[in-house]
Amino acid sequence: MRRRAVLLLLAALFLTGLTGCVGDHRAELLEIGLRHPGGYICSHRDTHGGFHGDGETEIRFYVPDIREEDLCGLPGWQEGPLPEGMETILYGGEYEGVHYGAYPESAPAGEIAYWFFLDRQNEKTHYTEEELWAVRNRPSANFTVALWLRTEQTIWYYRFDS
């Protein structure tokens, strides 16, 4: 009897841990407009710290239940492909003779069906190419990017604070 109770308790803890994975990062999902995507976290990295809280957060969510219809009407989400300014933020590149490095260590490559961007120094739902380039030319940057990779059924979340 006692053994059965212990096994049931362990099973309940295990199942709670599985269903709570995405719930642990509810704030990140809400920031990009997703309420109940289901799924779980594939990877997580966070370097925020210090007095000002500068750093990077990178999370890859496996979300098999997300569909195009779920993202197409959400504020800040736009259909791919990425504009040149966003590509340069994520992957680096050259603009007007200046070479720019990528912000994240490893932005995902692949078919980007939808993308999200929020510049916390200029909050809007849609950004022009010039506004995306302006992020590179400021002394500090505070933004969030999310990419939905349809074929991988993942959402990649990236937050940068300097």
Q: What are the residue boundaries of the structural domains of the chain, listed by start?
A: 25-161
CA distance 1 to 65: 39
pLDDT of residue 3: 58
3-state secondary structure of 136: helix
pLDDT of residue 157: 95
In 3D space, the residue among 46, 54, 47, 27 whose CA is nearest the CA of residue 143 turns out to be 54
User: What tens digit of pLDDT does each residue of 11-20 get?
Assistant: 444 433 434 4
Q: Tell me the CA distances in angstroms from 28 to 5, 61, 110, 139, 159, one per residue in order.
A: 36, 11, 22, 25, 9
Tens-binned pLDDT, residue by residue, of the chain (162 aa): 565 544 444 444 443 343 444 547 778 888 999 887 778 888 888 877 777 778 999 999 999 998 899 898 899 999 999 999 999 999 998 888 888 888 898 899 888 999 999 999 998 888 999 999 888 888 889 999 999 999 999 999 999 998
